[in-house]
Structure 1
Amino acid sequence: MKITAIVANIIQLAIILFIFFIRGPELGSLVIFLLFLLLAVPFINILTLLIDKRAILPTLSAKADGIVKREAVRIHYTGTHYALLTIDGITFTVRDLSEGGVRLNASSATTLKRKTTGEIRLLCGKNIRFKATVLRREEGAVVLRLSQPIGTATLVEEKRALAGGGA
């Protein structure tokens, strides 16, 4: 796409120069002046296209596998109020919660099966049973991908409960 734009601007520049050199003397001073002004347009376009590192169409760069990504509701737990996640009788505090995933506080020694089930007890009073896959382990945390997303309405209700200081 960028190469096509550069080629189009070079062709436009060539046409202006062709008109100027072939028909220039008989066009008159006003037309020659306008041609000089027109020369700046493709030249500036070419320079901008060569220098600019951003995507020409930002909406296309936001696509992944044909799906446009969108901002999800995400809850960051801090302070003393946390949702609790229980897997195999072990309870963890939740750092982050979104529609499709959970980041929980866990030591690097914590062993979790790759596919796991459990329950999340939210501050708003709801309990959510889930099936999840362990995505990755980070410094002091484990990230899970939920097989069934948590509803946006539930997350909004949880945000309100967190803002109110917990249930």
Structure 2
Amino acid sequence: MNYIDMQIATSAPHPELEQFQQWVDAALAIFEDGADCELVIRLVDDAESAELNQQYRHKNGPTNILSFPFEAPAGMDMDLLGDLVICAPLIAQEAAQQNKLPEHHWAHITVHGVLHLLGYDHIEDQDAEQMEALEIEILSKLGIANPYMEDGKQ
């Protein structure tokens, strides 16, 4: 079983550990090695997200998720994936703006972050398409519609 260390540094509404566990497990289940992993999920407010976004990405303002993959020192065999920092107030705001169920947006952002921890990114168009296809596949298995569709159109 994958292990999640939850850190809650916000008073904003957020899912329970069991929901995060379901989303993380679904994201990791599509990969064949099947090894159990550990990760940290830290839920924060706008101020902490903005501070970390500035410090690590040199961008102003909060962001919905930051992913910090763990790089084990040479010779160490560890199953620690890394850390996800999710801005709870921004997730609620985005869900409302995008007319999505908050739980579905939380699931999408969590899956998105796990894929980043596994080395996926969306800088180049081809990489973005691959990452989005994985997100759509994982979310579909959770009964969640394609998050990239607007009003039934992609």
TM-score, structure 2 as length reference: 0.23
Q: Which has the higher contact order (CA 8 A, sep 6+)?
A: 2
**Radius of gyration: which is bigger?**
1
TM-score, structure 1 as length reference: 0.22
